[in-house]
Amino acid sequence: MNEILFNNQVIVYLLSEALLYALLLIAFVFTLTLLKSWNFSHFTQAQFRLENRSYLVMSIVLFTLMLKMLLLPYFVYTIDSLSDLVPGAMCAAGVIKANGYGTMLLTLKIVLLFLSGLWMGINQLDMKTTTYRYLRAKSWFFFFLFVGLSVEMAWDILYFTQIQTTAPVQCCSVIFGQVGGANGLPFGLDTFKLMVLFYLLFALLFLSVLTYNALLSVLVAPLFLFIAYYAVVYVFGTYIYELPTHKCPFCMLQDHYHYVGYLVWGFLLFGLFFVLKGAMFSYVFKEKSEHLNRVALGLLSIFVLLCSAYVLIYYLKNGVLL
Amino acid sequence: MKKILMNVLTFLLIVSILIVLLVSLGDENGVKYIYKGNTEHKVIPFQSKEYRCSDCSMDVEDLHYAAELITQEGDTYFFDDIGCVVLWLQKHAKAKKNAKIFTQTLDTHQWIDAKDAWFSRIAPSPMGYGFAAYAKKEEKFVNYLQMQQMMLQGKNLYDPFVKKSLLGK
């Protein structure tokens, strides 16, 4: 049996995932009944039973999705801890590339995190109404979300069972370094232009959220995520590591760097999540939420300030930039 | 008034972002390290400090010692020292297939096929390996294969024994 499956973190992670998936499966079966038989205009015993049951089912889904959100950083922590077992890996970067499922799984988890948050948003709106206005919408949303969660569960198992402890993997300096002298940045950007683009996109996103321009927010948010990823890996990360050649999105999650990666990626992802949630509320449900926008702007501003602070502090201490 | 100001600001930001992206995309062929699309496999003329060495990442400043490697696909890599070409090829064996290597010569100041060149072992080359290309053979010069072997074995001016035997110090 694969040695990886005896790792404490992997056992805890897979068991938690399996347990949560079992809860979601129960909720899914009941959601199918809801979708099939729900009719709010009927004053029948069956409809009343469905209404009561819907509250229980949605509470299970809400609880489970919230726990799954907490499991994402734990998943990253787990694969980071596996770098001690997988030859060649210095951090989670090598482990995630140990087989073909790793990168797909992490991407899927981030997408599902966003979708789960949006489901919670619809659920929150639905709970405010007395007529279960959005029950069908959120049930259908959960239906598709569950398909994604099932794929995630399958990939979780395939990923962890297929990590080899005998085959060496590449370390982050090889994965994110300049392979063959090629420029690792997209659109032919250099470091300076990447920084200009990063701050311009942040300003545009800030402005779009501030002015409740939902469509612009939805368009700019993914682009900002894309550019911010490169900015953190190829520029800000080098200041976190204080080494111009060290380019890795995962090493900053380790204790040598005071786990700052969890804050950096957390503020970015949750900030963008609240941007999208606010945009959805405003665009789809015509409900402008000042509170959501404030949270989004706060989180994104902390992300930008945190990253910029590393550059500024390095410059003040050493008098040069990397 | 505030709304107009916000709209103008949004418009200006979008335009600025598009400009940065367009300038970068227009620049993509010559970003620091590689010139792409050289399907004719000819030497690409370039200025001092225009490119960086693909092996040591230093600016290719002194063009007298510069070298270019053109892969079968037409990707052109630039090097500040012929020794860097050898070290880079060791790490990128796939690029070796049908690759053309050109080097500047110190005597004729022209680009020639590195495999036709003769190499001095005591030149003040940018990386200090000591190898510099010449079009004409002189005493104690080595050919490309010998130079390659010496680089891979570390028998260049980095080795104190080699340095002493060649330069007497």
Q: Do B17 and B60 lie in a common domain?
A: no
Q: Do A87 and A117 lie in a common domain?
A: yes
Which residue in B13, B52, B77 is closest to A204 by CB distance?
B13
Q: State the Cα–Cα distance between residues B166 and B122, nearest whole angstrom.
A: 7
Using an 8 Å CB-CB cutoff, list chain B residues near A216.
Answer: 10
3-state helix, strand, coil in chain A (%, to 5): 80, 0, 20
Q: State the Cα–Cα distance between residues A12 and A302, nearest whole angstrom.
A: 32
pLDDT of residue B26: 63
Residue A87 belongs to a domain:
yes
If we measure between CA atoms, which residue out of B167, B114, B121 comes closest to residue B145?
B114
Q: How confident is the model at residue A177 (pLDDT cuts 50, 70, 90)?
A: low
What the block records as the tokens of A38 is 């729900």
Q: Do A145 and A177 lie in a common domain?
A: no
If we measure between CA atoms, which residue out of A266, A78, A239 comes closest to residue A159?
A78
Q: Do B109 and B136 lie in a common domain?
A: yes
Total-model pTM: 0.68
Q: Do A186 and A312 lie in a common domain?
A: yes
Residue A222 belongs to a domain:
yes
Identity of the highest mean pLDDT range in A129-133, A250-254, B22-26, B108-112: B108-112
Q: How confident is the model at residue A181 (pLDDT cuts 50, 70, 90)?
A: very low
User: Is it the case that residue B30 has pLDDT exceeding 50?
Assistant: no
Per the structure, the count of domains in chain B is: 2
Percent of the residues in chain A that have a pLDDT greater than 90, as a whole number:
38
pLDDT of residue A174: 64
pLDDT of residue A179: 44
Q: Do B7 and B69 lie in a common domain?
A: no
Exposure of A225 in the CB half-sphere (CA atoms within 13 A): 20
Which residue in B17, B26, B32 is closest to A201 by CB distance?
B17
Which residue in B6, B20, B34 is closest to A211 by CB distance?
B6
pLDDT in tens, B60-104: 889 999 999 999 888 889 999 999 999 999 888 888 888 999 999
Q: Do A152 and A212 lie in a common domain?
A: no
SS3 A263: helix
Q: Do A153 and A178 lie in a common domain?
A: no
Q: Do A194 and A135 lie in a common domain?
A: no
pLDDT in tens, A203-238: 999 999 888 888 888 899 999 999 999 999 989 999
Q: Do B114 and B43 lie in a common domain?
A: yes
Torsion of CA A242, A95, A100, A109, to 10 degrees: -80
Average pLDDT for A285-293: 80
* Mutation target among A178, A208, A209, A212 for the B interface, most CBs of B within 10 A: A178
ipTM of the complex: 0.70
Report the run of H or E that residue B143 belongs to, with start and end: strand B142-143
Q: How confident is the model at residue B169 (pLDDT cuts 50, 70, 90)?
A: low
Q: What's the whole-number average pLDDT of chain B? A: 87
Q: State the Cα–Cα distance between residues B13 and B36, nearest whole angstrom.
A: 31
If we measure between CA atoms, which residue out of A308, A274, A294, A276 comes closest to residue A199?
A308
- Residue A219 has phi, psi (to 5 degrees) of -75, -40
Average pLDDT for A246-262: 87
Q: How confident is the model at residue A280 (pLDDT cuts 50, 70, 90)?
A: confident
Query: CA of B26: which chain A residue's CA is closest?
Result: A188
Q: Do A109 and A234 lie in a common domain?
A: no
Average pLDDT for B145-166: 89
* Mutation target among A185, A211, A216 for the B interface, most CBs of B within 10 A: A211
Q: Do A177 and A156 lie in a common domain?
A: no
Q: Do B157 and B122 lie in a common domain?
A: yes
Adjacent-strand bridge partners of B69: B77, B101
User: Is it the case that residue A140 has pLDDT exceeding 80?
Assistant: yes
Domain extent for A103? 3-161
Q: What angle do CA B161, B162, B165 make, to 5 degrees?
A: 85
pLDDT of residue A313: 93
Burial code (b: 16+ CB inside 10 Å, e: under 16) for A9-28 equals: ebeebbebbeebbeebeebb
Q: Do B24 and B36 lie in a common domain?
A: no
Residue A91 belongs to a domain:
yes
The owner of tokens 């259908």 is A140
Per the structure, the count of domains in chain A is: 2
Residue A230 belongs to a domain:
yes
If we measure between CA atoms, which residue out of B22, B79, B21, B73 comes closest to residue B55?
B79
Q: Do B45 and B72 lie in a common domain?
A: yes
User: Is it the case that residue A182 has pLDDT exceeding 60?
Assistant: no
> Quick count: other Cβ atoms within 10 Å of Cβ A49?
12
Q: What's the whole-number average pLDDT of chain A? A: 86
CA distance B62 to chain A (A): 19
Domain extent for B14? 1-29
User: Is it the case that residue A266 has pLDDT exceeding 60?
Assistant: yes
Average pLDDT for A38-60: 80
* Mutation target among A192, A204, A223, A322 for the B interface, most CBs of B within 10 A: A204
Q: How confident is the model at residue B27 (pLDDT cuts 50, 70, 90)?
A: low
Q: State the Cα–Cα distance between residues A313 and A181, nearest whole angstrom.
A: 30
A-B contacts at Cβ under 8 angstroms: 65
Average pLDDT for B138-160: 90
Q: How confident is the model at residue A196 (pLDDT cuts 50, 70, 90)?
A: very high
Strand order across the beta sheet in which B67-70 lies: B34-35, B76-79, B67-70, B100-104, B111-113
Q: Do A74 and A191 lie in a common domain?
A: no
User: Is it the case that residue A184 has pLDDT exceeding 80?
Assistant: no
Which residue in A180, A183, A200 is closest to B31 by CB distance?
A183
Exposure of A34 in the CB half-sphere (CA atoms within 13 A): 26
Q: Do B37 and B22 lie in a common domain?
A: no
What the block records as the tokens of B79 is 């090097």
